[in-house]
A = this chain, B = another copy of it.
Amino acid sequence: MTEVIIAGIGQTEVGEHWEIGLRDLAYAAIHDAIHDAGGLKPQSLFVGNMLAPNLSRQAHVGALIADYAGLTGIEAVTVEAAGASGGAALRQGYLAVASGFVDVALVVGVEKFTDKVGSEVDEALATASDSDFEAVQGMTPAAQAALLMKRYMHENEVSADGFAGFALTAHANGVANKNAMFRKAIKAETYAKAEMVSDPLNMFDMAPNADGAAALLLTRRELYHPRRGLPSSFSNPLVKIAGSGASSDTLALHDRKDMLYFDTAQLSAGKAMKQVGLTLDGIDFFEYHDAFSIYAALQLEAVGFAIKGSGWKLAADGSIGLKGKIPCATMGGMKARGFPGGAAGVYQAVEATMQLRGQAEANQVKDAKFGLIQSLGGPASTAVSHILQRLD
């Protein structure tokens, strides 16, 4: 079986980039990824983007970015699956390289929220839910997550404070990540006093929408070795994409058999693990999609790290901390690093690569060999999972 490796990574700071546009953000991440890969040149570009047609009035982002990055002429497409767009773009890049038709693929996730503000952003985000049966009723993703959280609290007899651990862990991990939007640890009291967004979901149960871009260069292992002619200016441990899986579910929550079980999180992670021949014990860290803390809890349960109804306990008892049983959101996650929409899944892959290379500095998960990353669209209407592996 062909081995696909991550030959280069790049990322911008996540935050409010008022002074630059979508194409500038993408360029910055691409530049760093190509440099990191010792100048490796891609033939194909896969852009993960969620909202540019609405927020930036710009479709056709693939060709736009290829041109602006000095790669005019290469193949370029946009891959969209709402919040899972970044993970989905990574999977398309992976399949393209694995197919043998593409030698070097560039995967870029990019989102520019600050082209619009407030209600326009909410309206754009709502296009990820069912327009005919949810969005048209005024349902936003935050309102949807609040409904899930309320039901979860009711069924499992958890108070809202039971979710504090997700935000505390994320913010603690964000402190040392120079690309994180929020680099300040928070206390349990801060969480408890936080402003309500959509009861019971408070400001700290929700990741901040933010601008950002991240990039990956993928190639086949046998093409990468310097002796085979492709340059390498560094000697990082190689990181391989060892497993990949994707799955879809209904957009509307009311169409689910059990809305408190994220089928796609289970299915996509299961496919990826089966490909690697790995059980959960072998996973050293988990980058979940903590756009909302309730999502994080439900992913921990669906993937199998916790039994149903008890995912929140792993956050409450420190199990998801950097030295815990299953470190999560190791560079701050979406909560503290920020949520750059369709770029989020690519940030996960960049951060996981840093962990596996041993470049995560203060946030390093000791001896990390396998990392699971999972990118969600809507309330797990799409899930894309990848397992990244350090090759020794």
Taking Cβ atoms with an 8 Å cutoff, the residues of A that contact B are 21, 44-45, 50-51, 53-54, 56-64, 66-67, 72-82, 88, 91-92, 95-96, 98-102, 123, 126-132, 135, 244-251, 255, 263-264, 267, 377-378, 381-382
Question: Is A99's CB under 8 angstroms from B95's CB?
Answer: yes
Contacts of A77 in B (CB 8 A): 79-81, 88, 91-92, 246, 382
Q: Which residues of B contact A130 (CB under 8 A)?
A: 58, 64
How many identical subunits does the complex contain? 2
A135, closest chain B residue (CB): B57
**Interchain nearest-CB distance for A181 vs B (Å):** 23
The docked-state distance in angstroms from the alpha carbon of A133 to that of B66 is 16
Other than the known A72-B250, A92-B95, what 18 A-B pairs have Cβ atoms closer than 8 Å?
A21-B132, A53-B53, A53-B54, A53-B80, A54-B54, A58-B131, A59-B127, A59-B128, A60-B129, A60-B381, A62-B248, A64-B130, A64-B251, A67-B251, A72-B249, A73-B264, A77-B91, A78-B80
Instruction: Report yes or no: A50 in contact with B59, Cβ–Cβ below 8 A.
Output: yes
Q: A128 and B267: CB pair below 8 A?
A: no
Please name 12 pairs of A and B residues whose Cβ atoms are closer than 8 Å in the assembled complex, sorted by A.
A60-B382, A63-B248, A63-B251, A64-B130, A67-B249, A72-B249, A73-B248, A75-B245, A77-B246, A95-B101, A95-B102, A99-B99
Give every chain B residue within 8 A of A66 (Cβ-Cβ): 248
Chain B residues in 8 Å Cβ range of A45: 248
| Complex alpha-carbon distance, A101 and B77, angstroms | 20
Across the interface, name the chain B residue whose C-beta is closest to A263. Answer: B73
